[in-house]
Amino acid sequence: MSIFRLFSNTNKEKTRERSRSRNRAENLPGVQQWPYYRDLAIQSGHFTIPSELASLRHSRLNRSLYNLVYTPNDELNYFILYMESCSLSAYLKFILDVHAFEKLSRQHSAKNSDQQTAALTLFHRYFAIDATYPIPIDDNMRQTTFSLICPSSDITETDSDCFRMGREYVWNLIEQNAYPSYLTSAYHINYQLKMLTCNELQLHDILYNNSSLSYFIEFSEQEKVIDLVRFWLAIEHFYQSTINRMIDNQTLTENALNIYDQYISLQASSRLGFDDAIRARIECSICQPDMDAGPSSDTFDQTAWIVYAILQREYFPRFLQSVIFCRHISDLMLKIRNEETALTSRPVKAVESDAASINSDNMMPSSTVPTAASATTQSNRQRNPSVSSSCPSLNQELAIKSMGKYSMGYIDPLGRFIRDPDVDSLDSTFSSQRKTSSNPIQFLTNLVRNEQDEVAMDEAAARFAETFINEITTMTANLDNQ
């Protein structure tokens, strides 16, 4: 009996200890209630935290034009198809080719004669009167560019920036006209759907995309953690103001004090419950001996890291499984349906960067170092996605992508992507999946049109969107196993 009594007493002690630990956690303020908070506080004090936070300050759902064109990404193919549908592909081809030419010129990897030949090839391709891909420039810019390529006898080398005027002119045309329209097109929405339904989505993709952020804010209000999101947005605005120097140091100090008084101090109206060490460090950063210096840009980096880690670990997975996120997917699908009529009915050929064609025209010797644009083009050939305004084609695109095969084709008057004959064999593989997907899409369309019962519409649309996501995941997993 003594053994059983000892075992029983031990279990009672463990139960009481767990109960005390639970009560202590419940009594801790704000973020300190999480058992891993102490580890986060220690990690957030590391000197690499600012650089790690900097790597998170972007969203793949809403890239800048510079990142879209010049950094490796799988959205560039969608933008290329959009530019071709608008008959503006020559602009993008010119930008990529000039980037490749300028990079080679700066590396001094080619002889002057080869550099001049390369420049003349680009000139005749884009700037000549009978150019293959004419760029709308005036005679003054054309003559200035040609004089920089073929200078007078006193200057023997071709200017590596000979296309700078043309590049800036074309870039402004794209930035002011084509790019804003692309962001509202079915091509961009199709890419967003692909990102939102893949396993690579991260919290920073949501936080730095205004459209998705609105849904996450609604979810955080439902979960009663809206103060964490508002705090993140406040310190992000403070960081951008500090980096860009949009306001003077006195105003920066006032903004930092407002954030401190609202979220960090012991008397804060929305106190998040950071420990004394973090609070003291922020106080020292705000109240510096030199009053004119202003707070540094990393004043709230430690708290930002902790809040981001908690949101990523505790609430982001729930958000992806929520009805609100499914409604986000269904709203994007509705936008695609509304954009179908805006798509051109003429066949649209998929185009690629012409940087590789420069080499095919013997613009540079084969011994030269390949350019980044050429490398990007080769990788884009391997991942050329089929862009369509219909969700069955999106399923087909993801399935083909998982098999590592991509095709080129055109968009028919109904907005469907038609591939070339060399990949017709894949049509039979996915024909049944397209047939099974058509009825749910029609079902979703009817739900969206029905405005009499908005609550029922949202719930049904969310259920379909969740089924749609599971279908993509299952299909991709099956293809991987094959």
Poorest-pLDDT segment among 47-51, 129-133, 311-315, 475-479: 475-479
In whole angstroms, give the CA distance from residue 275 to residue 261.
15
| Cβ-contact 299, 308 below 8 angstroms | no
Tell me, yes or no, whether 133 and 228 share the same domain.
no
| Cβ-contact 354, 395 below 8 angstroms | no
Tell me, yes or no, whether 280 and 308 share the same domain.
yes
pLDDT digits (tens, 9 = 90+) for 297-328: 888 999 999 999 999 999 999 999 999 999 99
| Cβ-contact 63, 179 below 8 angstroms | no
Poorest-pLDDT segment among 122-126, 331-335, 389-393, 439-443: 389-393
Measured in whole angstroms, the distance separating CA 388 from the mean position of its chain's CA atoms is: 19
* CATH number, position 260: 1.10.167.10
Q: What is the largest CA-CA distance in the chain?
A: 109
Poorest-pLDDT segment among 6-10, 206-210, 372-376: 372-376
More confident residue, 51 or 412: 51
Q: Which pLDDT belongs to residue 165?
A: 92
Question: Is residue 40 domain-resident?
Answer: yes
Question: Is residue 368 domain-resident?
Answer: no
| Cβ-contact 302, 278 below 8 angstroms | yes
The DSSP code sequence of 262-305 is: IIISTT-TT-----HHHHHHHHHHHS-SSTTT---TTTTHHHHH
Question: Is residue 394 domain-resident?
Answer: no
More confident residue, 40 or 464: 40
In whole angstroms, give the CA distance from residue 74 to residue 68.
9
Which residue in this structure is represented by tokens 């099956």? Answer: 478
| Cβ-contact 372, 104 below 8 angstroms | no
What are 183's two structure tokens?
Answer: 């962001």
More confident residue, 60 or 246: 60
Start-to-end CA distance of the chain, whole Å, equals: 61
Please say if the pLDDT value at position 82 is more than 50.
yes
Q: Which pLDDT belongs to residue 211?
A: 92
Give the pLDDT mean for 418-431: 47
Tell me, yes or no, whether 86 and 164 share the same domain.
yes
Please say if the pLDDT value at position 93 is more than 70.
yes
Q: Which domain holds residue 280?
A: 36-59+202-321
Tell me, yes or no, whether 55 and 70 share the same domain.
no
More confident residue, 418 or 464: 464
Per-chain mean pLDDT for the chain: 74
Question: Is residue 316 domain-resident?
Answer: yes
Please say if the pLDDT value at position 22 is more than 80.
no
Please say if the pLDDT value at position 96 is more than 60.
yes
Tell me, yes or no, whether 185 and 258 share the same domain.
no
pLDDT band per the 50, 70, 90 thresholds, residue 413: low
Most confident of 103-107, 113-117, 195-199: 195-199
Q: Look at residue 411 and give its three-state secondary structure.
A: strand
Please say if the pLDDT value at position 102 is more than 80.
yes
Give the pLDDT mean for 110-135: 85
Give the pLDDT mean for 244-255: 84
The DSSP code sequence of 181-219 is: HHHTSHHHHHHHHHHHTSTT--HHHHHT-HHHHHHHHHH
Task: Residue 380: name the closest of 352, 359, 355, 356 by CA.
Answer: 352
Q: Look at residue 61 and give its three-state secondary structure.
A: coil
pLDDT digits (tens, 9 = 90+) for 275-292: 888 889 998 888 877 766
In whole angstroms, give the CA distance from residue 340 to residue 363.
40
| Cβ-contact 265, 271 below 8 angstroms | yes
Tell me, yes or no, whether 145 and 72 share the same domain.
yes
Task: Residue 57: name the closest of 179, 239, 195 by CA.
Answer: 239
In whole angstroms, give the CA distance from residue 291 to residue 27.
38
Q: Which pLDDT belongs to residue 437?
A: 40
Question: Is residue 466 domain-resident?
Answer: no
Please say if the pLDDT value at position 295 is more than 60.
yes
What are 40's two structure tokens?
Answer: 């986060």
Q: How many CA atoms lie within 13 A of 82 on its CB side?
A: 24
Number of domains composing the chain: 2
For the chain, give the percent of residues with pLDDT over 90: 34
Please say if the pLDDT value at position 385 is more than 50.
no
Give the pLDDT mean for 218-241: 93
Q: Which pLDDT belongs to residue 42?
A: 82
More confident residue, 16 or 126: 126
**H or E stretch covering 425:** helix 425-449
| Cβ-contact 383, 77 below 8 angstroms | yes
Q: Which pLDDT belongs to residue 378?
A: 41
For the stretch 321-343, what's the b/e string if a residue is b when 16 or more beta carbons lie within 10 angstroms of its beta carbon? ebbbbbbbbbbbbbbbbebeeeb
Q: Which of 294, 321, 348 is the last residue of a domain?
A: 321
pLDDT digits (tens, 9 = 90+) for 339-367: 775 554 444 444 444 433 433 343 433 33
| Cβ-contact 107, 94 below 8 angstroms | no
Q: Which pLDDT belongs to residue 234?
A: 93
Tell me, yes or no, whether 167 and 130 share the same domain.
yes
Tell me, yes or no, whether 69 and 182 share the same domain.
yes
Q: Which pLDDT belongs to residue 249?
A: 83
Question: Is residue 400 domain-resident?
Answer: no
DSSP structure class, residue 464: H
Q: Look at residue 177 and give its three-state secondary structure.
A: helix
The DSSP code sequence of 76-138 is: HHHHHHHHHHTT-HHHHHHHHHHHHHHHHHHHT-S-HHHHHHHHHHHIIIIISTT-SS-----
In whole angstroms, give the CA distance from residue 77 to residue 43.
39
Poorest-pLDDT segment among 60-74, 82-96, 148-162, 216-230: 148-162
Question: Is residue 397 domain-resident?
Answer: no
Q: Which of 190, 217, 237 is the last residue of a domain?
A: 190
Please say if the pLDDT value at position 162 is more than 70.
yes
Handedness of CA 348, 351, 357, 358 (dihedral sign): positive
Report strand pairing: 409-411 vs 417-419: antiparallel
Task: Residue 381: name the closest of 346, 357, 399 by CA.
Answer: 357
pTM attached to this predicted model = 0.65
